Copies of this chain bind each other. A is one copy, B any other.
Amino acid sequence: MQTGTLCLGLLTDGPKSGYTIKQLLSGPLNQIYNLSFGSIYPALNKLMDEKYVTCKQHAQDKKPDKKVYTITKKGTSYFEEVLLKEALEYLRSGTYGDQIKSEFLMMLLFSKFMPPETTNLIIDERVLHMRQILNLVEYEGPTSDQDDTRSMRSSAEGLFIRGLMTEVLKTSLNYIEQNRKKLNVK
């Protein structure tokens, strides 16, 4: 999926800044898709050029201007068109796998070349990290006014994806804690 399409898609759910999009991808969507600022900002500028979004500079007292992007009517119809095009392209390509780079698992694969205490530290930190993500994904508490995760948390799609992430994270955590002793001596 093109980065522009993705940004446009997130903007269908309400105006957002580049920083907010990054926060979404690093936060509630972190198990789904990551992008760096270096991809997001140029993509938003391109969407501006093509009139698929408009931008309001929110001068904030003392903070740098927040550029809030809003999807236009043209942008919405373009999004629906290009999403379908990319979906059909995806189906045609036959490559249904995700793009994954798990430094964690790769290091575990090579763990016999590391001191056991390093491996144990890596696993400990990963377990803590996964528990944090699980909290983030499972969180059902109140949502504030300008909460960009609201629809993620209430729509059928959001609930489905959150449910999947929850199950997968719990399974992983459980497996790692039950089986880590098989990896390292002690």
Query: Which residues of A are interface residues toward B (Cβ below 8 A)?
Result: 1, 6, 9, 12, 29-34, 79-80, 83-84, 87-88, 90-91, 96-115, 118, 121-122, 125-126, 128-129, 133, 152, 155-161, 163-164, 167-168, 171-172, 175-176, 179-180, 182-183
Nearest-Cβ distance from residue A118 to partner chain B, whole angstroms = 5
**Residue of chain B at shortest CB distance from A119:** B87
Known: A33-B106, A114-B87. A167 touches B157 (CB 8 A): no
Nearest-Cβ distance from residue A92 to partner chain B, whole angstroms = 10
A-B contact pairs, 24 of them (CB 8 A): A1-B103, A12-B113, A29-B109, A31-B100, A31-B105, A32-B106, A33-B102, A80-B113, A83-B113, A84-B114, A84-B118, A87-B114, A98-B102, A98-B103, A98-B104, A108-B160, A109-B161, A112-B157, A156-B183, A159-B182, A163-B175, A167-B171, A168-B168, A168-B175
**Residue of chain B at shortest CB distance from A97:** B30
B residues less than 8 Å from A128 (CB atoms):
96
Nearest 8 A/B pairs, CB to CB: A96-B129, A99-B101, A98-B102, A171-B171, A32-B105, A9-B110, A1-B103, A167-B175
Nearest-Cβ distance from residue A20 to partner chain B, whole angstroms = 16
Whether the Cβ atoms of B109 and A125 lie closer than 8 Å is no
Checking B90, B125, B175 against A107 with a beta-carbon cut-off of 8 angstroms, the contacting residue is B90
Whether the Cβ atoms of A157 and B109 lie closer than 8 Å is yes
Nearest-Cβ distance from residue A34 to partner chain B, whole angstroms = 6
Whether the Cβ atoms of A175 and B164 lie closer than 8 Å is yes
